[in-house]
Chains A and B, each alone.
Chain A
Amino acid sequence: MLEMRDMSKIFRTEQVETHALRSFDLHVREGEFVTVTGPSGSGKTTFLNIAGLLDTFSTGAYVLDGQDVSDLDDYARSKLRNRKIGFIFQGFNLLPDLNLFDNLDVPLCYRRLKRAERHQRINDALARVGLASRMKHYPSQLSGGQQQRAAIARALAGHPRLLLADEPTGNLDSQMALEVMDLLQDINRAGSTIVMVTHDPNLASRAQRNVHIVDGRVAEDPADGTIRPRPVEGTA
């Protein structure tokens, strides 16, 4: 589903060159639930941005769902992102001016889906996260947990091949965090591939596989047996 080979991402300014990712190799198979952990500044978010086609990389190769996306232009990346990837953000990122129904409708409209199909998908997605009765509510009228469930529904409505979650429970209390985590596990059991970045080792342990990143490299990955010495947290 997701294969990154010898990837690097270098941020350049006039005076400094920062290697956010270096010799980064990762292979996520279809249907897997992979969590990505690592200390602050280890490259987790950079990895997720590149995986989600939100950002480009400097060298290496990236194959998403069998398609090499290394040389796609902005338009093609947008279209591919819309069709194949669902995002769940730490800050929910619902559009505050639109009600839940319209929030879910926005990415489907970008895909030029027909009205009937869009409505069906939105109703199904909201029902799946238990918010069918709130579709006319605005984000500001919902609790944090409900907003995150709405954001998950928005991602699900697109029937993505890959679901990327960036600290999806970071802004929630522990009870709500567990509910969201349960929901993600249900989604994964239903066949969706999920890659989730988290700081929380308890949440990470609930995934099938946890990849640990340090200094822009994969330090531990049970899938290929990679184990590199971990530096002390916070020094990376």
Chain B
Amino acid sequence: MQIRFVLAALRKHRLATFLIALQISLACAVLCNACFLIVQQVHAMRIDSGVDEARLGTVKLSGFDPKSANDFNARVVDALRHVDGVQSVSVISGVPFGEPGVRAGIGLDPDYKQFGGVIDFYLGDDHAAHDFGLHLISGRMPSPDDYMPVTKFVPSNAPVLITRTLAEHLWPGQNPLGKQFWGLDTQFRVIGVLDHLSVSQPGGSEAKDPDWSVFVPAIAGPNLAGKYLIRAQPNDMPRVMREAREAALKAAPDAVLDTDQSHSLSRLRHSYFESARVMVKLLAGVVVALLGTTALGIVGLASFWVTQRRKQIGTRRALGATRGDILRYFQIENFIIVSFGILLGMLLAYGLSLELMRSYEVPRLPFGYMPIGAAALWILGQLAVLVPALRASAITPVEAIRTL
């Protein structure tokens, strides 16, 4: 019943009402979009790479003569296998969260009339599939006959293990086993489907989905050399990697060790998402600061209005308003202002989302975030106004009457 009186009073204080509502609307717009971006980043950081990260490490060497790649590979693999704690070593083209390996656009026909997207190709020798810990959900793992030398970037007419996500994208609702696709001037045939195998740079590559990748069995040689996958016990990983780097350099003293990429996969993942973590912290800081500023704005305005309306509050109490009536008056007033701000904020949030989509290629803000942002601001508003409202309700009528 007090809503009419609150609205009438707010009409008389349009500027202050509009300014605080504007502040709330900005908070709402930023809150919705920041929360969405935070959730996206957190979701991206929790990606399932599809490999046994805790047990894996990689060593990358460069600067060797490709003509002696077979000898080079043999020396390094042998040296790495002799490191205490190393369970297995394989030659690979890349790892999740490492440098981009082989990446190319594929088609569902030789002429690429049906473009299938840009995907990552992980090449690995006959130990790699096992060492990676790939989880096959249908089909079979590569047999010894499936391993072929790499001609240029990949083996010709190679059998592949494809991820479930990519298979569903290429052949929706169909059994992908035996299906073919083309890329890198050759043809690939699906022999197995993997639960997951993330691209090397999830969220940062041209792949539209972080799980658009395939494993290609290959024989180590001139076009598959210099990158090694090490498998060891998780708790032994730091020591194993330290000794593996030393052993690799000792085995190939003329080669250059890539110190950025020669680490455990856990560390590579940590490094890869460093900027995402910073962004999450920054966004969270912005959200907290914005909500804090908004709450202080509400407290400030409500406190000012309580002081300004002290006489009115006394008059209302003299006319029969209970403490609850006074408390409710300020709560209703805050609810109306915040609701107005939220309404404006939702439009702003949507506009901001469109701008972010256009400028940074982020997905559109899902509508579900708007009621969450609204609820957060309603709760914040009610909490912020509580202390001034309780102070107002505690004003005794005679106290106010004395000041008349």
Contact = CB atoms under 8 A, between A and B. Distances in A.
B293 interface: no
A10 B250 CA distance: 97
Given A83-B320, A93-B311, A54 B398 contact: yes
Contacts of A89: 315, 318, 401, 404
B317 A106 contact: no
Contact of B4 (A102, A110, A112): A102
A110 B326 CA distance: 11
Contact of A81 (B8, B312, B318): B318
Most buried by A among B13, B311, B320: B320
B398 A81 contact: no
B320 A93 contact: no
Given A90-B404, A91-B404, A97 B318 contact: no
Contact of A78 (B4, B315, B322): B322
Interface in A71-125: 74-75, 78-79, 81-83, 87, 89-91, 93, 95-99, 102, 105-107, 109-112
A97 B320 contact: no
Interface residues of B, number: 27
Contact of A49 (B315, B319, B323, B401): B401
Interface residues of A, number: 31
Nearest to A46: B398
Contacts of A102: 4-5, 8
A103 to B, nearest CB: 9
Interface string B1-41: 11011001101110000000000000000000000000000
B320 A81 contact: yes
B322 A107 contact: no
Contacts of A111: 320
A95 B320 contact: no
A55 interface: yes
Contact of B319 (A55, A87, A91, A99): A87
B317 A78 contact: yes
At the interface, is chain B mostly helix, strand, loop or mixed? helix
B210 interface: no
Contacts of A154: 319
Nearest to B312: A95
B99 interface: no
Nearest to A55: B398
B5 A110 contact: no
Contacts of A91: 404
B309 to A, nearest CB: 9
Nearest to A94: B315
A52 interface: yes
A32 B316 CA distance: 27
A54 B397 contact: yes
Given A95-B315, A97-B8, A98-B5, A78 B404 contact: no
B321 interface: yes
A158 B12 CA distance: 26
A55 B400 CA distance: 11
B325 interface: yes
16 contacts: A49-B398, A54-B398, A81-B320, A82-B319, A87-B318, A89-B315, A89-B318, A91-B404, A97-B9, A97-B12, A99-B8, A102-B8, A106-B319, A107-B320, A110-B320, A158-B320
> Which 3 residue pairs are nearest across A and B when measured between Cβ atoms?
A82-B320, A97-B9, A107-B319
Given A90-B404, A110-B319, 14 more contacts: A49-B398, A54-B317, A54-B396, A79-B320, A81-B320, A89-B401, A93-B404, A95-B316, A97-B9, A98-B9, A109-B2, A110-B322, A111-B320, A158-B320
